[in-house]
A and B are shown apart, each in its own frame.
Chain A
Amino acid sequence: MQLEANYGYIALLLIVAIIFAASLIIIPFILSRLGIIPRKPDPVKTSTYECGMETVGKSWVQFNFRYYFYALLFVLFDIETVFLYPWAVHFKQLKLFGLVEMFIFIFVLAIGFVYAWRKGALEWK
């Protein structure tokens, strides 16, 4: 089937990506075990980041609950994308009617965006 063949390429890409990422970890490990790669550790080499800022504190912090608002909005706009996706695929056949339809849809959602803006919900205090 055509569809399965097309997605077969995606599966192939995924497999190659996984093998590539895994081999980047495994090959140096094997080479260093075999003694091919010299092992001369020094403090700079073994640090987590060779350049950039050292992390301060621990990474397990309680997130500010305000992030949750953005997560909720993200879910809503994600659902909007679910409608946009088939519309975009079929855009040419839907002609002007489809365009007007989607503009009304986005306009209604834009009201919510304007409401959030006016209420200052997008401001970080």
Chain B
Amino acid sequence: MGTGSELAFWLLAVLIVGSALAVVVLRDVFRAALFLVLCFFAVAGIYIILSADFLAAVQVLIYVGAIAVLIIFAIMLTREAQRGSPSNRLQIPVLIVGLLLLAVIVAVVVDTSWPAADVPPPAPTTGDIAEKLFDKNEGFVLPFEIASVLLLAAMIGAIVLVRERKEE
């Protein structure tokens, strides 16, 4: 790891811990949601340092893009949104639960002996992932096509559940 990526790691680490703390501690739920987006974005940076560029792209697409939109919509859909941003009244319990979860994760990370591969990771990874996913011989072609059926089911489910019924 070069000095540049070490510096980037520490910058991102401070950003992630700071924004994650802000998510828990801030009273304003809307601002907490925005800090969560910042946290997701910084995690994408960590993925890049780990030379997982495809994962970073997916993180930005799904978490920074879609999940953030869903969370902000969920806040704006509540009835409380009319009276300004809803406030977070559970800061201390959430902080305790968050710290407990952190303790569990740290304990597991310290306790596990992590095997390191001898070969350097492939960089960029996206082409190799595509090869593994779409290749005629060794790819996961059928699971990939089944994923489209899963997405179709989710789409039809969303339409059926959310659509207003005409009779009522």
Contact = CB atoms under 8 A, between A and B. Distances in A.
Interface string B42-66: 0001001101011001100110011
B144 A75 contact: no
A86 B127 contact: yes
B contact face: mostly helix, strand, loop, or mixed: helix
Size bin of chain A's contact surface: 35 or more
A20 interface: no
Size bin of chain B's contact surface: 35 or more
A101 B83 CA distance: 50
Contacts of A75: 62, 66-67, 69-70
Contacts of A11: 8, 45
Nearest to B8: A11
A104 B148 CA distance: 9
B149 interface: yes
A37 B162 CA distance: 55
B100 interface: no
Contacts of A68: 73-74, 77, 162
Interface of B: 2, 4-5, 8, 45, 48-49, 51, 53-54, 57-58, 61-62, 65-67, 69-70, 73-74, 76-79, 81-85, 123-124, 126-127, 129-131, 133-136, 141, 144-145, 147-149, 151-152, 154-156, 158-159, 162-164
Given A68-B77, A82-B58, 13 more contacts: A62-B76, A62-B79, A62-B82, A71-B70, A73-B155, A74-B69, A75-B66, A75-B69, A94-B135, A101-B134, A105-B145, A108-B148, A121-B162
